[in-house]
Structure 1
Amino acid sequence: MTHVVAVLALPPVVGFDLAIPPQVFGTAERDCEPLYDVRVCGLAPGPVPTTAGYALHVEHGPEALAAADTVLVPGTHFVPARRDGVLPAEVHEALARVPEGARWMSICTGAFVLAAAGRLAGRRATTHWARAAQFRRLYPDVEVDEDVLFVDEGDLATSAGLAAGLDLCLHVVRRDHGAAVANEVARHLVVAPWRDGGQAQFIERPVPVDDDGSTGPTRTWARERLSEPLDVATLARHAAMSPRTFARRFRAETGTSPHAWILAQRIAHARHLLESTDLAIDRVAADAGLGTTSSLRAHLAADVGLSPVAYRRTYRASPRTATNRTAT
């Protein structure tokens, strides 16, 4: 009764992207019990060419999609979706097997396939920054944000290029089963459980050059003081910069604004406290810098769709009750 993740490899698939979901989801467990059943499939069982000049043998054909709780399309150079914005009949037939209510995910240029299938119309998504302009031309009805590492809309999640697939998959494990499980997966993979900033820091475009230094030390300082007021003026004063210079440098380094970054840190800390302590809800809100219980409730509902009490109950539940939870 584990959550089935079906990974659809369309040729030529990006081998790096294809390896991420089995590694991340396949490592996630609680009390030595696997939390996901990962099934890599193609349009037919057998070898699938990769973009790196070798083929990968997949055991499953499209029938694996019929059992999926999550369908994930890794990066691909699949010509119909990448060049023409369409999918051939055999791919439409394969995707038609996916159960209603399944979660859809993509890594890197796998977003082209989801868009060609009509899954991203009117939705926010991301893809590799170098392919964002092409994506917009082919799929103008999708709201593309190339500055972020991933976009999670609950039933739909897309990641930026290549290694951002690790960020997205770890985020989904964290969303499904809590920070402790995701951190253990990250520890096993020897990667950071959470990376600051977004894809913007990797985009080939001019970054302001000055002698103001990095905002990194201030970010570290702020993480240790999330319960205190942390507006741009306070952060800039610590960094010995003007607020305007600090905000510009901060976005160049992280791909997001200081306000959005602080809020994300506070929500993450609140989730950690709910999972790992018995602190009262109002104390969690105060310690995370979110102020009141109602503020914590609103932010947590927007982030994971749960109240603080429900979140604590879900992520501190027994393995049996937590294993079959599906994010919505």
Structure 2
Amino acid sequence: MLNEQTSRRDFLKTSLLTAAGTALLSNELLAESFKGEKSQIGVQLWSVREDISKDPKASLAKIAKMGYKNVEGFGYSNGKFFGLSASEYAKVLADNGLKMPSAHNMITSKDYVNGQLSDSWKQMVEDAAKVGQKYSIVPYMADEDRSQGKLMAEIFNKAAEHCKTLNLKFGYHNHDFEFKSYNGETLYKTLMDNTEKHIIFEMDLYWAVLAGQKPGEWFKNYKGRFTHVHVKDHDPVKNVSVEVGEGDINFQEIFNQKAIGGIKYFIVELEAYKRTPMEGIEISLNNLKKLKF
């Protein structure tokens, strides 16, 4: 576990302990069909979590000015998006020419009792749909759920059914622990093999590579299921995440396999910082644009 990069995990764990089933993460506007890399590059707002929490309007304006067209949300709580109602938040996005094709929404085994999803989870995705969200992506798996891969796959299938009624697609975002063995099998494989093929996976390339994985092999084995990738680089000296283009991950090699993986969205994310978060995501955007998609 990387000391400099545990803040998001700690945030998620704390939230799970204090409010299991609560909506951790959400937001969005319309998703479009694939039209080219510029319209499909986005940024996970967790990267600028302090800025967005203090002043969402100013933060989104800065992000748009950098050249981002898409953002990926987090932070939904009690019907609010960073303190704004769904209509207010949607207007801020639209006023800045931003879309939100995906966002993070938490679910755990505690949200699934007697074969039924919790009302709080259903309310979260229903609110997400109200602002046009098209992908609801689980950002993390609680410690106690990792040894229950098949149960979590069952829950994901059930959640995906509900999302489908709201015109949402359901997905899962990895860290590194999914590539460890639980009950004799890699957790990631358990999830892939036991979920419906319409459930998508947002591969965090940094965490996958750090776990010794070759993303392209997963793309080949599970064609078309990786509609989203998280893009942050790896500092081989400090062993922490850094801005795109400032580490040792060969993104071009991975992006060359975009078609087989089904990648539509390239989402910048930062967890550790060498400079201010806003400067970091701008550098990442500019370096990402230099690559061929």
Greater RCO, 1 or 2 (C-alpha within 8 Å, sep 6+): 2
Fold conserved (TM > 0.5)? Answer: no
Q: When the two structures are superposed, what TM-score results if normalisation uses the length of structure 2?
A: 0.30
* Higher-strand-fraction structure: 2
